[in-house]
Structure 1
Amino acid sequence: MSFGQPETYDDSARPAGRRTRPRALAAAACVVLGLGLIGGAATGSWLTGDSAAEAGSPGAFAAAGGMWHSVPVDRLFPPTVNGEGAGPGGADRTWTRIGVAPDGGCADAFDPLLRKALAPAGCLRLLRATYTDATRSHVTTVGLLFTKADAAAMTSLKNRFRREGLDRRTDLMPRSYAPKNTLAAGFGDAQRASWTVSVLTDAPVVVFAVSGFADGRTVATPQPAADATGSGATTAPAQAGLGHEAQGLADRVERSLRKRVAPATESPS
């Protein structure tokens, strides 16, 4: 007479031979959950500009590059932009659009040396709009330069800007767009007070903004927004909050760009 193998038990008094299926199901669930978290992290990283997702998002990169012709201008540059906490001391800001430049090339949009610095990325299309703040005392031009570069070229360009401090030099500034018969009609080169230039690496785009006084006064010493928004800054652009105007508006236009491209790259569930 022979007998079958006795059932063995673990510490929780459950037959060890019956745990195989629950364990397999649990492992499968972990794999699915892990893949979902990875996918969600990649999308979230793109929206926040996390460089960890840059190399693995070719779809997002390509989609962002085509937004200049696929997204209405009112979505790239909304008529009203709210900047919660964007002002000095965390004050809220609201900007109203007063003019949109015809889209075109980059020939007259940048100081000559800045145009030369951006040249390796190429100029596919340039979009610009000018805004004023709620007090109508400041004007700010914000722009999106869509380049011809791939991800590697954009990364190289960003590294050069960072390494050489090109975004802080007063001889490398974006130019304003001064629509006629508006509050910004007198917003020219001499009126530029603060600016920011951001080279993206997860999209073939350079985001920039430049601000000034709405009354047309000249500014002898412009200051980059990164310095004008710093603690203890005492220059005229800093005291007037013009660094916050340029940085705050550029940040929100960049965020809007990222949010617009995210749905186009999502995979069906």
Structure 2
Amino acid sequence: MSFGEPEGYDERGRAWPLGARVRSRTTAAAACLVLGLGLIGGAVTGSWLTGDGGDGTAGTGFSAAGSLWHSVPVDQLFPPTVRGTGAGPGGADRTWTRIAVAPDSGCADALDPLLRKALAPVGCQRLLRATYTDATQTYVTTVGLLFTKADAAGMSALAARFRDEHLDRRADLMPRPYAAKGTAAAAFGDRQRASWTVAVLTDAPVVAYAVSGWADGRTVDSPLPAADAIRSGATSAPAQAGLGNEAQGLADRIERRLRETVSPDREKPS
């Protein structure tokens, strides 16, 4: 013997099969659950893509980067040889050889006073520097990693200021070179600076920079920021010599190694 489904009543007093109501509520509840999971999943995915994960992964990477100056061998941050595929003028390949490493230090004597003042909001914990030369020993380039005392918000604020005020293009804010006696960079002083780049990182408490010049000690009256020197049609002596490529290419690769050291599983660019 079978029985019909029991009836209930809706708000208008009409008969309503209770089984149908249960099925309807079950279907609606399932739909809400799927929608809720979709929203949660979307939020988690979005958080992961933007680096704002609730597990603190981004924050951990930022903090880890701040301690690299005393926990990572110098050869890992500044390799003896750096290859720059397509980094030269016209996409030519470059190879840089390290010829000197400066002792880790503060920033008092290593930066021009005005640049030191511009970087003061983030502080200076340690400065690491190394000088490289190209395969022909025609050019020399000093690359630096300035480890700051700032948090992520402080680095973002400084990066915004450098971008908005174009501080990275001001010749009075050029980094100083590291000249080592007995090397191809022995005559690489302040007056020999030809091109430079400065990058304020926001995913690490680090300011990365590079400054390049000729190895023969010639002076430069009108140094040019690397971003301008590598532009097509630039006619100044630093641009024609490819010194902008020297500074930008080496800085990019040292910065890349820094990020790979912090996040070794990060996908490496081709």
CA positional deviation for 1:36: 9.2
Change (3 A) 1:4 1:31: farther
C-alpha separation in 1, matches of 2:79 and 2:163 = 30
Aligned to 1:2: 2
The 1:199/1:80 distance shift into structure 2, 3 A limit, reads same
Q: How does 1:110-129 map to 2 (within 5 A)?
A: 110-129=111-130
- 1:138 aligned partner: 139
Q: Distance in 2 between matches of 1:168 and 1:182?
A: 29
What does 1:185-196 align with in structure 2 at a 5 Å threshold? 185-196=186-197
SS at match of 1:127: strand
Counterparts of 2:79 and 2:116 in 1: how far apart (Å)? Answer: 26
- SS of 1:177 mapped into structure 2: coil
Where 1:96 maps in the other structure, the secondary structure is: strand
- In structure 2, the residue matched to 1:78 is 79
Equivalent position SS for 1:105? coil
| Cα gap change, 1:31 to 1:85, in 2 (>3 Å) | farther
1:2 is matched by which residue type in structure 2? Answer: S
**Contact kept? 1:54, 1:201, Cα under 8 Å:** no
Q: Which runs of 5+ in 1 are unaligned?
A: 6-22, 43-51
Identity of aligned residues (%): 70
Residues 52-63 of structure 1: matches in 2 within 5 Å?
52-53=50-51, 57-63=58-64
- Closer, same or farther: CA 30–186 of 1 in aligned 2, 3 Å: same
Q: Give me the whole-angstrom Cα distance separating, in 1, the residues matched to 2:105 and 2:4.
A: 83
**What does residue 176 of structure 1 align with?**
177
Are 2:222 and 1:224 aligned?
Answer: no
Does 2:205 align with 1:204?
yes
Which blocks of at least 5 consecutive residues in structure 2 are unaligned? 6-30
Provide closer, same or farther for how the CA distance between residues 135 and 34 of structure 1 changes in structure 2, counting only shifts above 3 A.
Answer: farther
1:165 is matched with: 166
Q: Which has the larger radius of gyration?
A: 2
- Between the aligned partners of 2:188 and 2:52, the Cα distance in structure 1 is 36
Structure number with higher relative contact order (C-alpha < 8 Å, ≥ 6 residues apart): 1
Partners of 1:174 and 1:123 in 2: CA distance: 14
TM-score by length of 2: 0.81
